[in-house]
């Protein structure tokens, strides 16, 4: 990879045409220190793609123009350029690279050489990205970076959340800050859009850099607590070393097929008949209970989904600059009927240097339209519906005529009359419509000017406008069963966000040769504002269904609800960074950011976020000489920093009054009056503050054959923003959002990568990462001495009204499950004794009563360990890559099993299918708080396998064809659909399995053409 | 020169951007300064004080909830939670749902973590603080500043008395159910401390004195708004129960009680509704018997608590046709106990079908009729098939039309009605009031019985008029109106308190047959969540 980089750089700066005559040059390449012969050294004629490599003895032979320059490249060694100058024999001694890690990485407001990094920063290049039908940028780096957990749903374009080093907050957001080409972007989820980042075509991303520790993220101050993801999009034309004044055109297209085949733990039609015979034998002859057919309802609401994507780009280098234009189309269909995401992209960027490259201008525009079809998730209904009933109500199927209580009047679908009975999932799936349409455009203009009077000083301005409009429409016709009472429904919602950004900063660089030191400093100002509005109207009685979503027709005097909400907030900041590098051995970085946010009251608006980091390149020390034989690179880093979190609703510091909707009025006299209510707040609410320390070690052994890093960190989040109960009576509320409590994440991370093979026709890179994290709540509440310990239930579950399965408790992790301890009989089966529950659940406090006081913490949803393994192999023209991911120690609550795992469902007036767990547990009534349902959801997943073949025989075109399989297999003991569980709302706690969107297995074939 | 221009240009550009203004005013909500310039806002806020007893948030039926201490908004309705506390703990009602903690209400096994204990507590103090805030923003001095017209200022003066009434009502609930609570009458940041029950009691009585004096009488007040008779009713009920709250209350309270209820009865504003059940149906706002009701409207005033709960939770889906009660379906939740049924027994196992107040149903394999009480089994209460239920509230109006919406009822909750005044009068006289007489009391009781039976055949004699009879008659007349727990405690039949004649009913004390419970259960625990944030508070004894 590094070789490619070097090639690219050389290619870029040379555009020499070659007229001289060819001669044959031969020679031997050896190590300058010990004289060993170096095999596999690449030799390239500068300015061309022509080259060769050394053989096992280090010998080479190449035909080159007599005035050519040869470029010698070998991993871990300094590249060398040697003019042929009519010599026919050139022997070369190559010396080990002094600065092994030359790569440049982006950090906030600037770039640094990788070797100069003091914080914990990990860059993932395009080559390392996950491949396949990927519609969300987050999924590109899944499994690639230690301590970065990417979890997504199976939905097409479904939201993917990134958690860096665990969660730092409870109520405020845990999402990292996304910075795209220097623009921090708005990332709030809205209805109608599955994933706020879906506007960005993953194909347009050049690299993703993850800033993990506070010393790196503190420059983003109040938004840095959850880490920062810096995304750089592609610009210009840099393609596999091809020089390019002439435009490079690239086309990439693929299509895929996704299938879903999970074992569904419900009764088949035959099993259902057998179960009714046992548990409700009086009704075996009732055809409403046991119907005439076998229907696999899940099969009826799922599909084999075909998807496709096409990307086209044109890019070129121009004098002192480059440009790139790209357009893309992607359509991903889900395995659930009628679910889809579709994206159209048009992006353009150009950069140009003026005044001898002193003034650099860059303009970039990224535009996308994303159309989402949400379908109607009928998985729950499909698993519930009587498997012996037909989809369409055909009376001739029934021996005794149409059974009582059933009907086909809703469009001919089989339905039970009972209003509480589950509606026919196929009918719902076919007739309910929900779509989202999002338009997003981010435009930014950068000006970088190297000031003429002070050498090393430059000034940079960045202006950006980010606009997003999302429409969310839904429609149900008036004839389907679920709409029987409301006679159809229609709703239209529009949310729009406009964000304006201005950044201006000065950059100063100076080498102080007298003391062999280098100083860089950055200082700047930033202003970002957001204007948001959310308007909607809904009505629930349709005149006709004919026009569906597009032209709804409400009946006269029907109930129409309208509303609009507008918000505004600003963030104003001053920031600075100072780097000092002494003798290439000692590196120091300090940053400071002062943020002012409209989300807090006048006394708490401004906050200061400092950080400090130092690094010591041990391997550059004189005393280290000789030791580099074993460990050829060693760098120790320590960092400390304070970051913040301000992701809460606007105006939480200000008491405001709001009116009720018309359905929430109250009658006084003969008048119905919209009520007015205050929203009680804590006027003193302030930023969450995360203080973290990090100790890291970068190392390389075996001359770079094995490299890696090791990190230890501890981060304490104080003033946790949390909605907490107040002492009653003082304010008109029960809870306020305020700062209370503290929690800690600590853990360690390890990255190892190895270029196992670096031969010209066989390259093999393997990288592995592992991370361990432990989360603990240290303090909750402003607990006064002598007060009782408070716990906060959270994590709502399906199957009962208002039940929760998780808890916040001091000393426990934030996503701890809180359940009764199930007792088991001699056979290991759960005991069912609903009347005398002390026989069924452990009486933890021995008071002979089973109540809330007997709930206890049972594991938690956070993985202890996260692993990722990526292998990339190139053999001649074949490339082969795969990615494994694993989580260990994460538990999940199987809400599907607990909600459907009761025998009573068979016995209700309208029988429903049951989860097979009921046969094991014998639970007549559901026992949703039993720890029986808390399962270990550790897993190993082969995420991705790609094999490709490159055809480069033609001068004018290079092609690569490839095949990818996604979600190839998963190894787990978890009994649900999938051990990786994505809450439907990203702010809901993880680990509760009640959002049943099946995860598909996808096979994809594609072609990439470069002209 | 060119360089200089570029440099200047860049620097100017840089400076222009530098703004540090962070004053952003909310666009979608009103600040206090803006909201209360308009007269209508005071009325809207007053409506909220009332709505706090029935509705759960700013969007009907659910959404933008007032309190979120319980995760399901429907459970956060004041009257729903209050009803459960006063009824599920007694022989009148048991609930067969299995929501965590709800069975504890049937079986007297609640802890300080119980979510039903918790939600009522927070709802009460949400309402008191809401009233405090209303009184704060409607201070006469502020009204002048905002140029509110003198006429409307006079109207606001009445609003303020209504707010004080509602706050006193909520404090009575706090005193009755949680006993050792703080008295907070302003918006404050100070950590409250518990005060002696006497202090809460005195506060309520003195606030109600102002209400009795200042509020218009029912003939002048708008429907749904409290009137001076409602203030008298509340004061009478608080005083009648004073022995539960105070150590050695003076005997004179009974005279005060008789004074108040006599004033209500003799006001001429109320009369018994000839049809008992018309007090609990969709057009009960027109019942002449209702002194003050909390209103609900199926279209404009929707919620999952309040009277919608009282109608629907009692209807059993498998055995009743819910539309007969004007709603789309029943919630199959609430039953009564066999012990309560015995109040309507004329002989062993035979219910009195002549008493029109008896609407008991046996849910016995879809047999829809009043049948003798079968043998009691566990299944009676917790099982699916068997048991008794009392569908007293309905969403059908007196002309047999269903309410406007079959999901949410039009039925108002009659908080005080004349029948209660009659019963209180009789009880106060029996407890020694010297300003009333037994003859009048007997007349009032027989009026109730004649209304119930349609004739005087079942009238009682003076010898029948005992305190025990009053308790039983209160059960027959006022069941499911949220008063049973208070009554049982006042008559010393709830727990094993000294001198008690404790009643036992099925599932009392977590035994199928029922068992005695200790006296500390007469009040609820202070929720652990409040103790967790208020170090000044101590838990009630026994918990």
- The pLDDT tens digits of the residues spanning A514-562 come to 888 999 999 999 999 999 999 988 887 887 777 777 777 777 766 778 8
Q: Which residues contact B259 (CB under 8 A, 6 or more apart)?
A: B435
Q: Is the pLDDT of residue B381 over 70?
A: no
Q: Which residues contact A880 (CB under 8 A, 6 or more apart)?
A: A871, A872, A873, A874, A946, A947, A948
Q: Which residues contact A705 (CB under 8 A, 6 or more apart)?
A: A754, A755, A756
- The dihedral of CA A972, A973, A976, A979: what is its sign? negative
3-state secondary structure of A958: strand
Alpha-helical runs (H) found in B241-372? 242-245, 252-265, 306-312, 338-341
Buried-state track A591-611, b at ≥16 Cβ within 10 A, e below 16: bbbbbbbbbbbeebbbbebbb
CA distance A585 to chain B (A): 36
3-state secondary structure of B116: helix
Q: What angle do CA A814, A816, A822 make, to 5 degrees?
A: 170
Q: Is the pLDDT of residue A973 over 90?
A: yes
- The pLDDT tens digits of the residues spanning B197-225 come to 999 999 999 999 999 999 999 999 999 99
Q: Give the Cα separation of A631 and A699 in Å (integer).
A: 7
Which of these, A74, A37, A67, A75, lies nearest to A55 by C-alpha position? A37
* pLDDT-above-90 percentage for chain B: 69
CA distance A401 to chain B (A): 23
CB B392 within 8 A of CB B414: no
**A804 has a chain B CB within 8 A of its CB:** yes
Contact B533 A782 (CB under 8 A): yes
Q: Is the pLDDT of residue A440 over 50?
A: yes
**A523 has a chain B CB within 8 A of its CB:** no
Q: Which residues contact B227 (CB under 8 A, 6 or more apart)?
A: B215, B216, B217, B218, B220, B221, B291, B292
| CA distance from start to end of chain A | 22
Structure tokens at A488: 């159809």
Q: Give the Cα separation of A164 and A171 in Å (integer).
A: 17
Q: What is the mean pLDDT of chain A?
A: 86
CB B86 within 8 A of CB B317: no
CB A878 within 8 A of CB A256: no
3-state secondary structure of A941: strand
- The pLDDT tens digits of the residues spanning A383-422 come to 899 999 999 998 888 988 888 888 887 778 898 887 678 8
DSSP A915: B
Contact B72 A781 (CB under 8 A): no
pLDDT value of residue B149: 95
pLDDT band for position A725 (50/70/90)?
confident
CA closest to A783 among chain B residues: B533
Q: Is the pLDDT of residue A1006 over 80?
A: yes
pLDDT band for position B16 (50/70/90)?
low
Chain A from 586 to 645: CB within 8 A of any B CB: 596-598, 605
pLDDT value of residue A801: 67
CA distance B249 to chain A (A): 27
3-state secondary structure B447-489: HHHHHHHCCCCCCCCHHHCCHHHHHHHHHHHHCCCCCHHHHHH
In sequence order, the β-bridge partners of residue A340 are A333, A373
* pLDDT-above-70 percentage for chain B: 91
Q: Is the pLDDT of residue A376 over 80?
A: no
CB A116 within 8 A of CB A581: yes
Considering only CB atoms, A669 lies closest to which of B58, B126, B224, namely B224
Contact A525 B14 (CB under 8 A): yes
Q: Give the Cα separation of B385 and B184 in Å (integer).
A: 48
B61 cis-preceded (ω within 30 degrees of 0): yes
DSSP B37: T
* C-alpha R_g of chain B: 26
Phi and psi at residue A764, in whole multiples of 5°? -140, 120
Alpha-helical runs (H) found in A532-635? none
**A811 has a chain B CB within 8 A of its CB:** no
CB A146 within 8 A of CB A698: no
pLDDT value of residue A97: 60
pLDDT value of residue B380: 45
Mutate one of A483, A560, A675 to test the B interface: name it (highest B CB count within 10 A): A675
Q: Is the pLDDT of residue B39 over 70?
A: yes
Contact B114 A851 (CB under 8 A): yes
pLDDT value of residue A4: 41
Q: Give the Cα separation of A330 and A311 in Å (integer).
A: 8
**Helix pair B115-137, B150-177: axis angle to 10 deg:** 160
In sequence order, the β-bridge partners of residue A947 are A880, A963
Q: Give the Cα separation of A865 and A616 in Å (integer).
A: 29
- DSSP structure string for A3-55: HHHHHHHHHHH------SPEEEEEEEEEETTT--B-TT-EEEETTSS-EEE--
pLDDT value of residue B17: 54
3-state secondary structure A837-856: HHHCECCCCCCCCCCHHHCE
pLDDT band for position B513 (50/70/90)?
confident
3-state secondary structure of A975: coil
- The pLDDT tens digits of the residues spanning B291-303 come to 999 999 999 999 9
Structure tokens at A618: 């041990």
Alpha-helical runs (H) found in A231-293? 269-279
Chain A from 846 to 865: CB within 8 A of any B CB: 849, 851-853
Least confident of A133-137, A435-439, A711-715, B145-149: A133-137
Contact A666 B99 (CB under 8 A): no
Q: Which of A721-735, B4-18, B380-394 has the highest mean pLDDT?
A: A721-735
Chain A from 548 to 567: CB within 8 A of any B CB: 559, 564-567
Q: Give the Cα separation of A229 and A183 in Å (integer).
A: 11
CA distance A754 to chain B (A): 46
Q: How many angstroms from the chain centroid is the CA of residue A485?
A: 40
CB B413 within 8 A of CB B293: yes
Q: What is the pTM of this model?
A: 0.83
pLDDT band for position B367 (50/70/90)?
very low
CB A979 within 8 A of CB A926: no
Contact A675 B48 (CB under 8 A): yes
Contact B67 A733 (CB under 8 A): yes
Mean pLDDT of A953-979: 89
Mean pLDDT of A234-247: 62
Considering only CB atoms, B75 lies closest to which of A651, A802, A853, namely A802
Mutate one of A486, A568, A658, A664 to test the B interface: name it (highest B CB count within 10 A): A664
Structure tokens at A873: 């192999």
Residues in chain B closer than 8 A to A723 (CB atoms):
68
pLDDT value of residue B1: 59
- The pLDDT tens digits of the residues spanning B480-495 come to 999 999 999 999 999 9
Residues in chain B closer than 8 A to A844 (CB atoms):
none
Task: Kindly tell me the burial class for residue A876, based on how many C-beta atoms sit within 10 Å of its own C-beta (0-12, 13-18, 19 or more).
Answer: exposed
CA distance B100 to chain A (A): 7
Residues in chain A closer than 8 A to B113 (CB atoms):
851-853
- DSSP structure string for A514-539: GGTEEEEEEEEEEEEEEEEEEEEEEE
Q: What is the mean pLDDT of chain B?
A: 89
Q: What is the ipTM of this complex?
A: 0.94
Task: Kindly tell me the burial class for residue B149, based on how many C-beta atoms sit within 10 Å of its own C-beta (0-12, 13-18, 19 or more).
Answer: exposed
- The pLDDT tens digits of the residues spanning A867-910 come to 999 999 999 899 999 999 999 999 999 999 999 998 888 877 78
Structure tokens at A517: 């030191």
Q: Is the pLDDT of residue B366 over 50?
A: no
CA distance B254 to chain A (A): 31
Which of these, A192, A105, A120, A96, lies nearest to A640 by C-alpha position? A120
Contact A664 B44 (CB under 8 A): no
CA distance B188 to chain A (A): 5
């Amino acid at each position: 990879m590094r070789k490619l980089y070097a090639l690219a750089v050389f290619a870029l700066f040379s555009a020499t045409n070659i007229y001289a005559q060819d001669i044959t040059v031969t020679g031997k390449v050896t190590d300058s220190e010990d004289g060993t012969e170096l095999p596999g050294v690449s030799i390239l004629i500068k300015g061309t793609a022509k080259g060769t490599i050394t053989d096992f003895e280090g010998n080479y032979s190449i035909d080159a123009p007599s005035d050519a320059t040869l470029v010698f490249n070998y991993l871990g060694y300094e590249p060398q350029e040697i003019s042929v100058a009519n010599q026919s024999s050139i022997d070369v001694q190559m010396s080990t690279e002094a600065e092994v890690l030359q790569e440049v990485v982006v950090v906030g407001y600037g770039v640094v050489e990788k070797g100069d990094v003091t914080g914990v920063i990990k860059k993932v290049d395009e080559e390392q990205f996950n491949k396949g039908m990927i519609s969300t940028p987050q999924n590109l780096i899944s499994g690639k970076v230690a301590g970065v957990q990417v979890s997504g749903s199976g939905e097409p374009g479904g939201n993917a959340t990134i958690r860096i080093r665990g969660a730092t907050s409870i109520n405020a957001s845990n999402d990292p800050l996304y910075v795209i080409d220097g623009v921090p972007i708005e990332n709030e989820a809205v209805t109608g859009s599955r994933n706020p980042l879906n506007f960005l075509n993953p194909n347009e991303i050049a690299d993703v850099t993850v800033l993990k520790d506070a010393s790196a993220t503190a420059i983003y101050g109040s938004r840095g607590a959850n880490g920062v993801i810096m995304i750089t999009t592609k610009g210009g034309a840099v393609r596999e070393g091809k020089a390019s004044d002439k435009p490079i055109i690239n086309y990439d297209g693929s299509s895929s097929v996704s299938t879903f085949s999970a074992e569904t733990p419900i009764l088949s039609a035959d099993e259902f008949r057998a179960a009714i015979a046992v548990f409700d034998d009086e009704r075996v002859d009732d055809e409403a209970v046991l119907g005439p057919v076998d229907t696999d309802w899940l099969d009826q609401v799922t599909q084999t989904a075909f998807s496709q994507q096409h990307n086209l780009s044109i890019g070129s280098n121009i004098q002192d600059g480059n440009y790139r234009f790209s357009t893309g189309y992607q359509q991903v269909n889900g395995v659930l009927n009628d679910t889809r995401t579709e994206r159209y992209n048009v992006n353009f960027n150009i950069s140009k240097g003026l005044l001898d490259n002193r003034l650099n201008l860059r303009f970039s525009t990224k535009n996308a339209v994303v159309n989402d079809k949400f379908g109607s998730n009928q998985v729950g209904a499909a698993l519930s519906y009587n498997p012996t009933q037909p989809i369409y109500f055909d009376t001739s199927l029934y021996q005794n005529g149409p059974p009582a209580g059933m009907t086909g009047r809703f469009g001919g679908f089989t339905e039970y009359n009972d209003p509480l009975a589950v509606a026919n999932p196929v009918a719902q799936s076919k007739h309910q419509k929900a779509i989202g349409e999002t338009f997003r455009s981010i435009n930014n203009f950068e000006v970088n000017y190297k000031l003429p009077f002070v050498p090393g000083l430059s000034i940079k301005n960045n202006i950006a406008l980010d606009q997003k409009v999302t429409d969310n429409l839904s429609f149900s016709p008036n004839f389907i069963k679920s709409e029987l009472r409301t006679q159809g429904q229609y709703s239209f919602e529009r949310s729009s966000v406009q964000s304006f950004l201005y950044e201006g900063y000065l950059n100063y660089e100076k080498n102080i040769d007298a003391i062999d030191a280098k100083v860089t400093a950055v200082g700047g100002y930033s202003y970002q504002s957001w204007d948001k509005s959310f308007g909607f109207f809904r009505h629930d009685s349709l005149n006709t269904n004919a026009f569906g979503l597009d032209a709804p027709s409400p009946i006269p005097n029907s109930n129409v609800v309208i509303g609009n909400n507008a918000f505004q907030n600003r963030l104003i900041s001053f920031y600075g960074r100072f780097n000092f590098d002494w003798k290439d051995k000692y590196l120091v970085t300090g940053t400071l950011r002062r943020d002012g946010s409209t989300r807090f009251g006048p006394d708490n608006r401004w906050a200061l976020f400092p950080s400090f980091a130092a690094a010591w390149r041990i391997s550059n020390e004189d005393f280290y000489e000789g030791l580099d034989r074993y460990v050829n690179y060693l760098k120790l880093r320590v960092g400390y920093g304070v970051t913040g979190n301000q992701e809460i609703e606007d105006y939480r510091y200000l008491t405001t009054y709001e009116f009720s909707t018309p359905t929430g009025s109250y009658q006084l006299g003969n008048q119905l009056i919209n009520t007015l209510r205050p929203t009680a707040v804590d006027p003193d609410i302030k930023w969450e503050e995360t203080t973290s320390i990090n100790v890291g070690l970068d190392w390389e052994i075996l001359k770079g054959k094995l490299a890696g890093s090791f990190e230890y960190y501890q981060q304490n989040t104080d003033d946790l923003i949390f909605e907490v109960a107040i002492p009653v009576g003082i304010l008109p509320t029960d809870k306020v959002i305020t700062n209370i409590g503290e929690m800690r994440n600590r853990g360690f991370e390890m990255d190892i990568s190895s270029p196992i093979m670096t031969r010209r026709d066989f390259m093999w890179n393997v990288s592995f990462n592992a991370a361990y994290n432990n989360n603990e709540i240290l303090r909750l509440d402003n607990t006064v001495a002598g007060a009782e310990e408070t716990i906060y239930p959270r994590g709502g579950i399906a199957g009962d009204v208002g039940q929760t399965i998780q808890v916040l408790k001091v000393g426990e992790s934030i996503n701890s499950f809180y359940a009764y301890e199930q007792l088991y009989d001699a056979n290991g089966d759960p005991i069912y004794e609903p009347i005398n529950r002390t026989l069924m659940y452990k009486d933890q406090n021995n008071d002979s009563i089973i109540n809330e006081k007997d709930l206890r913490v049972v594991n938690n949803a956070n993985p202890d360990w996260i692993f990722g393994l990526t292998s990339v192999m190139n053999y001649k023209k074949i490339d082969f890559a795969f990615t494994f991911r694993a989580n260990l120690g994460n538990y999940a609550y199987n809400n599907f099993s607990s909600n459907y795992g009761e025998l009573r469902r068979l016995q209700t007036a309208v029988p429903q299918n049951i989860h097979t767990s009921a046969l094991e547990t014998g639970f007549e009534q559901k026992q949703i708080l039993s720890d029986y349902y808390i399962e270990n959801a550790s897993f190993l997943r082969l995420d991705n396998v790609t094999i490709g073949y490159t055809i480069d025989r033609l001068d004018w075109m290079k092609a690569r064809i490839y095949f990818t399989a996604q979600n190839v297999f998963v190894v787990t003991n978890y009994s649900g659909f999938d051990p990786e569980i994505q809450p439907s709302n990203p702010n809901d706690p993880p680990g509760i399995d009640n959002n049943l969107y099946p995860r598909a297995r996808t096979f994809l074939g594609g072609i990439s053409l470069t002209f | 020169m060119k360089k200089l221009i570029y440099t200047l240009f860049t620097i100017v550009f840089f400076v222009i951007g530098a703004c540090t203004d962070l004053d952003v005013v909310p666009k979608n909500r009103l600040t206090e300064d803006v909201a209360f310039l308009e007269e209508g806002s005071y009325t809207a806020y007053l409506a909220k004080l009332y709505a706090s007893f029935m509705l759960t948030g700013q969007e009907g039926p659910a959404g933008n909830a007032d309190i979120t201490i319980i995760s399901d908004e429907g459970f956060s309705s004041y009257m729903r939670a209050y009803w459960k506390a006063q009824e599920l703990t007694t022989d009148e009602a048991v609930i067969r749902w299995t929501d965590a903690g709800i069975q504890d209400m049937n079986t007297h096994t609640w802890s300080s973590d119980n979510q039903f204990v918790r939600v009522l507590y927070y709802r009460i103090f949400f309402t008191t603080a809401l009233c405090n805030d209303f009184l704060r923003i409607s201070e006469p001095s502020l009204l002048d500043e905002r140029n509110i017209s003198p006429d409307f200022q006079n109207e606001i003066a009445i609003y303020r008395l209504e707010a004080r009434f509602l706050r006193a009502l909520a404090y009575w609930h706090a005193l009755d159910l949680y006993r050792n609570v703080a008295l907070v009458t302003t918006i404050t940041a100070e950590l409250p401390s518990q005060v002696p029950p006497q202090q809460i009691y005195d506060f309520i009585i003195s606030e109600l004195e102002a209400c009795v004096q200042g509020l218009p009488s029912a003939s002048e007040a708008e429907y749904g708004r409290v009137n001076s008779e409602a203030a008298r009713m509340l004061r009478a009920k608080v005083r009648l129960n004073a022995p539960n709250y105070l150590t050695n209350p003076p005997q004179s309270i009974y005279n005060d009680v008789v004074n108040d209820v006599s004033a209500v009865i003799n006001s001429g504003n109320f009369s018994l509704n000839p049809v008992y059940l018309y007090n609990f149906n969709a057009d009960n706002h027109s019942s002449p018997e209702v002194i003050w009701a909390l209103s609900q409207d199926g279209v404009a005033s929707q919620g999952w608590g309040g009277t919608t709960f009282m109608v629907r939770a009692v209807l059993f889906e498998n055995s009743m046709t819910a539309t007969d009660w004007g709603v789309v379906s029943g919630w199959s939740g609430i039953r009564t106990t066999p012990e309560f049924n015995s109040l309507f027994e004329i002989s062993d196992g035979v219910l009195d079908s002549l008493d029109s107040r008896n609407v008991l149903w046996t849910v016995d394999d879809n047999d829809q009729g009043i049948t003798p009480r079968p043998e009691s089994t566990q299944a009676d209460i917790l099982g699916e098939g068997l048991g008794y239920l009392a569908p007293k509230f309905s969403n059908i109006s007196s002309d047999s039309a269903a309410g406007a919406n079959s999901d949410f009822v039009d039925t108002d909750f009659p908080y005080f009605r004349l029948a209660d005044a009659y019963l209180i009068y009789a009880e106060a006289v029996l407890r020694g009031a010297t300003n009333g007489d037994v003859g009048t009391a007997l007349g009032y009781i027989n009026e109730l019985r004649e209304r119930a039976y349609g004739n005087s055949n079942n009238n009682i004699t003076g010898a029948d008029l005992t305190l025990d009879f009053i308790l039983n008659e209160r059960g027959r007349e006022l069941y499911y109106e949220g008063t049973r727990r208070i009554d049982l405690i006042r008559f010393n039949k709830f727990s094993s308190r000294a001198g008690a004649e404790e009643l036992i009913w099925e599932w009392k004390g977590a035994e199928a047959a029922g068992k005695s419970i200790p006296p500390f259960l007469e009040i609820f625990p202070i929720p652990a969540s409040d103790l967790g944030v208020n170090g000044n508070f101590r838990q009630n004894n026994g918990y």
